[in-house]
Amino acid sequence: MFSFIVTKKLGRARLSELKTPHGTIPGPFFQFVATQAAIRGQVMSEDMEALGVDIMLANTYHLHLRPGEDIVAKAGGLHGFMQWNKPITTDSGGYQVFSLGDHVKIDDDGVTFKAPLDGSVHRFTPEITMQIQAKLGPDIVMPLDVCTPFTASKEEVEHAIIKTTEWVKRCKEEQSRLASPQALYGIVQGGVYPDLREKAAALLRKIGFFGYSIGGELQEKGEKEIKKIVNITTAQLPENAPRYLMGYGKPEDIVEAVRLGVDQFDCVLPVRNARHGQIFSNLNIEELQKALTDPEHPIDPKKLYTTIDITKAIFAEDFSVFDAENPAIVKQYTKSYVHHLMRAEPPSGMRLAVMANISFYVQLMRAIRNIIEDEGV
- Which residues form the catalytic set? 91, 266
Distance CA 192, CA 97 (A): 21
Name the β-bridge partners of 186.
212
Q: What are phi and psi of 54, to 5 degrees?
A: -100, -25
Answer for the pair 207, 171: CB distance below 8 angstroms, yes or no.
no
Name the β-bridge partners of 183.
140
Answer for the pair 97, 124: CB distance below 8 angstroms, yes or no.
yes
How is 317-355 classified by DSSP, letter by letter? Answer: T----S-TTS-HHHHTS-HHHHHHHHHH-HHHHHHHHHH
Distance CA 216, CA 194 (A): 13
- Helices (DSSP H) in 179-268: which residue ranges? 194-207, 223-235, 251-259
Q: Please choose, from the candidates 230, 157, 225, 235, the residue with its C-alpha nearest in 3D space to the C-alpha of residue 189.
A: 157
**SS3 sequence, 127-182?**
HHHHHHHHHHCCCEECCCCCCCCCCCCHHHHHHHHHHHHHHHHHHHHHHHHHCCCC
DSSP annotation of 79: H
